[in-house]
Amino acid sequence: MMEIVENVYVVKPHNPTEPGCCVYIVDTKSKDGLVLIDVGLYIEPIQVIEKEGFNLKDIKHCLITHGHIDHFGACHELKKYNADIKFYAHEQDADKIEQKRPNQSLNPFFANYEYEPIKLARKFKADNEILKIGQLEFKCLHIPGHTSGSVAYLLETGNKRLLFAGDLPGIAINISDGNLDDYLKSMQKLTAIEIDILCEGHEDIIKPAEKVNKFIKGYMKFNENLNHIVLENPYHTKILLDLALISYELEFFETALDFCNYLLELDPDNSSGSQLLKKIKEHDPPKFEFVKRLIKENFSKEK
């Protein structure tokens, strides 16, 4: 558990070998207790707060960033500690959270996961809605693209602007609930805000503002390229190399490895790809085959 700024902590940090998302907690220093941003798949990583002097019963609010189960799966476990906990999310992702089997598209990742639905205390509808908890104000920014109900929570505290954004690098492909055009507009909106610290759902803490902007713009290009590869031409080696390079520069090494391996499978003699692969392997990222499965599941159905 690491303090980001005073009274704001990362509870479950980024670890590509573990399931679920990053989880953050804010101590309101009031009768409103603790605010959790996302909860992940399992309650165990959150229990670490008790070693730091906090009590799970004091988590009175949970802000959900979007309707992917790796961000809200353990909500029902939180209710065992505090039956009155309030959950919040955007109305366009509400059904995924409040129904028995949310987001069928994630089943290949979490095929054996048993989810118990919860009810939301508030469903955000408009952009820039304010949620006041204690003396703190969380501004809910609607950022569709990854899902139609994706949101980010902006909090100004300790003379810093923190943005809790569940999955800015998350794929925004024009399939299922994803939408590239919406994503690009959403990210453009975020680049117009001076964000001092980005608390991402699948990354380490990103700061200062210049690095946050670079991160967001990098993933705008990433998702444009990914749409082309998955839906238009899965054999475009130049774009695959660009995807690997973007991922490497953004220090998303496991994704860089995935793209680089696929590139070299198509073009074993690609010298740029071979050189990049050596650099990627220096970081010893875990290996997984995501892009090939994504193409297999979606390229043919688009044709």
Handedness of CA 238, 223, 220, 253 (dihedral sign): negative
- How many other CB atoms are there within 10 angstroms of residue 143's CB atom? 27
Whether the pLDDT of residue 106 is over 80: the answer is no
The pLDDT of residue 108: 56
Whether the pLDDT of residue 267 is over 60: the answer is yes
Confidence bin at 158 (pLDDT 50/70/90): confident
Asked if 211 and 241 sit in the same domain, the reply is: no
Q: Does some domain include residue 94? A: yes
Residues recorded for the chain: 303
Asked if 212 and 284 sit in the same domain, the reply is: no
Whether the pLDDT of residue 303 is over 60: the answer is no
Confidence bin at 109 (pLDDT 50/70/90): low
Distance CA 299, CA 295 (A): 5
Whether the pLDDT of residue 73 is over 90: the answer is yes
What mean pLDDT comes out for the span 119-127?
95
Q: How many structural domains is the chain composed of?
A: 2
The pLDDT of residue 103: 44
Q: Does some domain include residue 280? A: yes
Q: Check residues 174 and 29 and name the one with the higher pLDDT.
A: 29
Lay out the sheet containing 160-165: strands in order across.
Answer: 129-133, 136-142, 151-157, 160-165, 197-200
Q: Does some domain include residue 227? A: no
Confidence bin at 136 (pLDDT 50/70/90): very high
The pLDDT of residue 67: 92
Bridge pairing between strands 160-165 and 151-157: antiparallel
Indicate which CATH number applies to the domain containing 262.
1.25.40
If you average pLDDT over every residue of the chain, what do you get? 92
Q: Check residues 210 and 293 and name the one with the higher pLDDT.
A: 210
Asked if 244 and 119 sit in the same domain, the reply is: no
Whether the pLDDT of residue 302 is over 70: the answer is no
**Of residues 22, 277, 18, 278, the one with CA closest to residue 170:** 22
Confidence bin at 265 (pLDDT 50/70/90): very high
| Residue where a domain terminates, one of 191, 222, 253 | 222
Asked if 209 and 244 sit in the same domain, the reply is: no
Question: What are the tens digits of pLDDT across the range 182-238?
Answer: 999 999 999 999 999 999 999 899 999 999 999 999 999 999 999 999 999 999 999
What mean pLDDT comes out for the span 239-246?
96
For a pLDDT cut of 90, what percent of the chain falls above it? 79
Q: Check residues 137 and 302 and name the one with the higher pLDDT.
A: 137
Contact between 42 and 12 (Cβ < 8 Å): no
The pLDDT of residue 170: 83
Long-range contacts of 232-239 (CB under 8 A, 24+ apart): 234/295, 234/299, 235/266, 237/263, 237/266, 237/267, 237/270, 237/273
Confidence bin at 111 (pLDDT 50/70/90): low
Distance CA 176, CA 283 (A): 33
For a pLDDT cut of 70, what percent of the chain falls above it? 95
Indicate which CATH number applies to the domain containing 153.
3.60.15.10
**Residue 233 in tokens:** 């031409």
Asked if 170 and 237 sit in the same domain, the reply is: no
The pLDDT of residue 290: 86
The pLDDT of residue 300: 58
Asked if 172 and 256 sit in the same domain, the reply is: no
Asked if 185 and 252 sit in the same domain, the reply is: no
Instruction: Give the position of tokens 């994803």.
Output: 178
What mean pLDDT comes out for the span 107-122?
80
The pLDDT of residue 94: 96
Asked if 38 and 86 sit in the same domain, the reply is: yes
| Residue where a domain terminates, one of 180, 198, 222 | 222
Give 22's Cβ-side CA count (13 Å radius): 23
Asked if 251 and 295 sit in the same domain, the reply is: yes
**Residue 224 in tokens:** 């444009």
CA 48 to chain centre: 21
Asked if 120 and 256 sit in the same domain, the reply is: no
Asked if 236 and 89 sit in the same domain, the reply is: no
Whether the pLDDT of residue 288 is over 90: the answer is no
Instruction: Tell me which of 44-48, 173-177, 247-251, 257-261 is least confident.
Output: 173-177
| Residue where a domain terminates, one of 175, 204, 222 | 222
Mapping DSSP onto H, E and C, the string for the chain reads CEEEECCEEEEECCCCCCCCCCEEEEECCCCCCEEEECCCCCCHHHHHHHHHCCCHHHEEEEECCCCCHHHHCCHHHHCCCCCCCEEEEEHHHHHHHHCCCCCHHHCCCCCCCCCCCCCCCEEECCCCEEEEECCEEEEEEECCCCCCCCEEEEEEECCEEEEEECCCCCCCCCCCCCCHHHHHHHHHHHHCCCCCEEEECCCCCECCHHHHHHHHHHHHHHHHHHHHHHHCCCCCHHHHHHHHHHHHHCCCHHHHHHHHHHHHHHCCCCHHHHHHHHHHHCCCCCCCCCHHHHHHHHCHHHC
Q: Check residues 96 and 176 and name the one with the higher pLDDT.
A: 96
Asked if 52 and 130 sit in the same domain, the reply is: yes
Handedness of CA 260, 302, 228, 147 (dihedral sign): negative
State the residue range of the domain holding 297: 232-302
